[in-house]
A = this chain, B = another copy of it.
Amino acid sequence: MKRIAIDMDGVMADYDHRMIEEMNQRFNMSLTKKDLLGKHINSLFPELKEEIYQFINTYDFFRYLPVMKDAQETILELSEHYEIMIATAAMEAPGSFAAKYEWLHEHFPFLNSQAFVFCGNKSTVRADYLIDDNLYQLNSFKGEGVLYSAPHNVTIDYPVRMNSWEEVKDLFLSAKPI
């Protein structure tokens, strides 16, 4: 059985939704996802970098991220045909560890925590495929990469790009994925 590693933020969890909500509330802004097209939040507001990191690197930020549309049913279905592992770059925000673990148990109770990996660089992850929104991680990974579309990566050219979990399902349940 082939193994698919799946990233959390921006792929399973709607990180940007929470980020925008938090930015608008804290700094009285009116950001939308469109403002993040092709950009990272830190490049938009370099002067707020430290403050943003302070509120991101917390239990509360990561514990209540919304689940991405169709992620639950698709991952459940994929788990019948593939070994599913979760590979999330948690080392940059060690304040997120407990929240990420609880979030996975709450929203994906069918996954086995023995297949959760909280890592840094995803070159350390052993899987056949990696679904990730981060080009740096896809390039580090030794296996087949699948770019999951996110506002920040829209301008990136990558061989396999998925725009929804529906598309991911079609890809991996087709006769010959990638």
Q: Verify A97–B118 contact, CB threshold 8 A.
A: yes
CA distance A64 to B113 in the complex (A): 25
- Residues of B contacting A90 in the complex (Cβ-Cβ under 8 angstroms): 118
Given A94-B98, A98-B97, A101-B94, are A85 and B117 also a contact pair (CB < 8 Å)? no
A interface majority secondary structure: mixed
Given A97-B98, A101-B97, A126-B126, are A91 and B114 also a contact pair (CB < 8 Å)? yes
Is A125 interfacial (CB-CB < 8 Å)?
A: yes
Contacting B at CB under 8 A, from A110-148, are: 112-121, 123-127, 142
Q: Verify A118–B120 contact, CB threshold 8 A.
A: no
Copies of this chain, whole number: 2
The minimal Cβ–Cβ distance linking A144 to chain B, given in whole angstroms, is 14
Given A97-B101, A98-B94, A98-B97, are A115 and B124 also a contact pair (CB < 8 Å)? yes
The minimal Cβ–Cβ distance linking A64 to chain B, given in whole angstroms, is 18
- Residues of B contacting A117 in the complex (Cβ-Cβ under 8 angstroms): 117-120, 124-125
Q: Verify B91–A116 contact, CB threshold 8 A.
A: yes
The minimal Cβ–Cβ distance linking A127 to chain B, given in whole angstroms, is 7
CA distance A118 to B116 in the complex (A): 8
- Residues of B contacting A119 in the complex (Cβ-Cβ under 8 angstroms): 116-119
CA distance A120 to B113 in the complex (A): 6
Q: Verify A120–B114 contact, CB threshold 8 A.
A: yes
CA distance A141 to B113 in the complex (A): 17
- Residues of B contacting A125 in the complex (Cβ-Cβ under 8 angstroms): 117, 124-126
Choose from B97, B115, B127 the contact partner of A120 (Cβ within 8 Å). B115
Residue on B nearest A96 in the bound complex, by CB: B97
The minimal Cβ–Cβ distance linking A150 to chain B, given in whole angstroms, is 21
With a 10 A CB-CB cut-off, give which of A85, A91, A101 has the most chain B CB atoms. A91
